[in-house]
Amino acid sequence: MDENTAISSKPNSKEQRIDLTHISLRPLHLSDLDDVMVWTTDEKVPKFCTWELYTCEEDGINFIENIATKFVWCKAICLEDQAIGCISLTSYSEHDRCRNKSVELGYVIGSKYWGKGIGTQAVRLAVKAAFTEFPYLERVEALVDVDNVGSQRVLEKAGFQREGVLRKYLFIKGKTRDMVMFSVILTDPHV
Ligand SMILES: CC(C)(COP(=O)(O)OP(=O)(O)OC[C@H]1O[C@@H](n2cnc3c(N)ncnc32)[C@H](O)[C@@H]1OP(=O)(O)O)[C@@H](O)C(=O)NCCC(=O)NCCS
**Is 2 inside a domain boundary?**
no
| Number of domains composing the chain | 1
For 26-68, the pLDDT digits (tens) are: 999 999 999 999 999 999 999 999 999 999 999 999 999 999 9
In angstroms, the CA 135 to CA 109 distance is 27
The CATH number given to whatever domain includes residue 76 is 3.40.630.30
Write out the residue range of the structural domain in which residue 166 sits.
19-185
Q: In terms of Cα–Cα distance, which of 133, 30, 152 is closest to 72?
A: 133
CA-nearest residue for atom 9, ligand 1, is: 119
Reported confidence tier of residue 13, pLDDT bands at 50, 70, 90? low
Reported confidence tier of residue 7, pLDDT bands at 50, 70, 90? very low
Is 107 close to ligand 1, i.e. is its CB under 6 Å away? yes
- Indicate whether 6 pLDDT > 50: no
Is 88 close to ligand 1, i.e. is its CB under 6 Å away? no
User: Taking CA 141 as the corner, what is the angle to CA 166 and CA 7, rounded to the nearest 5 degrees?
Assistant: 70
pTM passes above 0.85: yes
Beta-strand relationship, 102-109 and 139-145: parallel
Helices within 53-157 (DSSP H only)? 57-62, 118-133, 149-157
**Is 4 inside a domain boundary?**
no
**Is 7 inside a domain boundary?**
no
**Is 11 inside a domain boundary?**
no
**Is 48 inside a domain boundary?**
yes
**Is 1 inside a domain boundary?**
no
